[in-house]
Amino acid sequence: MFTIIAAIGKNNELGKNNQLIFHLKEDMQFFRAKTTGHKVVMGHKTWDSLPKKLPGRENIVVSRHDFEGPDLIVHDLKQFISENKDTDEEIFIIGGGTLYFAFLPFAKTLYLTEVDASDEKASTFFPEFDHKKYHTEIIKKGSENGLNYAFKKYVKK
């Protein structure tokens, strides 16, 4: 089963210049707590944006190329999805935009940190989705450096 985890702005902003837009300590802690011990799947650009492999997690990178570093490189995304979508194991999709778009139809759960801010320079966005098709739970609200945010869990009905 696939679970999406992302931090998004008011206009679904995800990133700019191949980096994150929002840097919230509590969001990093939330991300680490949710994903540690699990497989994490990311696009090549997101992998390139990381300073190092995410510890305590199997780092799976989707790419058409081969390179050193990840635990696994997936070349055939369709095959990976069909082989893993019905498993009981929770596999986290951690971005970026192209991966969220590809996995959204197959993800039962979305953890979205919704940040009450926008960035005109954003270049990557979370895909639009129909909120009515999900049960929504607000896990927690918070504020850091003047930025308000809410951790939300969406589960497909």
Stretch of residues binding ligand NAP (CB under 6 A), selected from 16-24, 84-92, 132-140, 148-156 = 16-24
20 binds ligand NAP (CB under 6 A): yes
If DSSP codes are grouped into helix, strand and coil, which group holds residue 13?
strand
Dihedral (Cα; 46, 47, 52, 56), 10-degree rounding: 100
Q: In terms of DSSP bridges, do strands 147-156 and 107-115 run parallel, antiparallel, or are they unpaired?
A: antiparallel
Q: Which spans in the chain are helix H?
A: 25-35, 44-49, 77-84, 97-103
Interface pick for ligand NAP out of 40, 62, 107, 110 (rule CB under 6 A): 62
Interface pick for ligand NAP out of 1, 26, 34, 45 (rule CB under 6 A): 45
Tokens in use for 87?
Answer: 């498993």
Contacts with 102 (C-beta within 8 Å, 6 or more apart), sequence order: 77, 81
Nearer to ligand NAP, 64 or 132 (CB): 64
129 binds ligand NAP (CB under 6 A): no
Residue nearest to ligand NAP (CB): 96
Which residues lie near ligand NAP (CB under 6 A)?
6-7, 14-15, 18-20, 42-46, 49, 62-65, 77, 94-99, 124
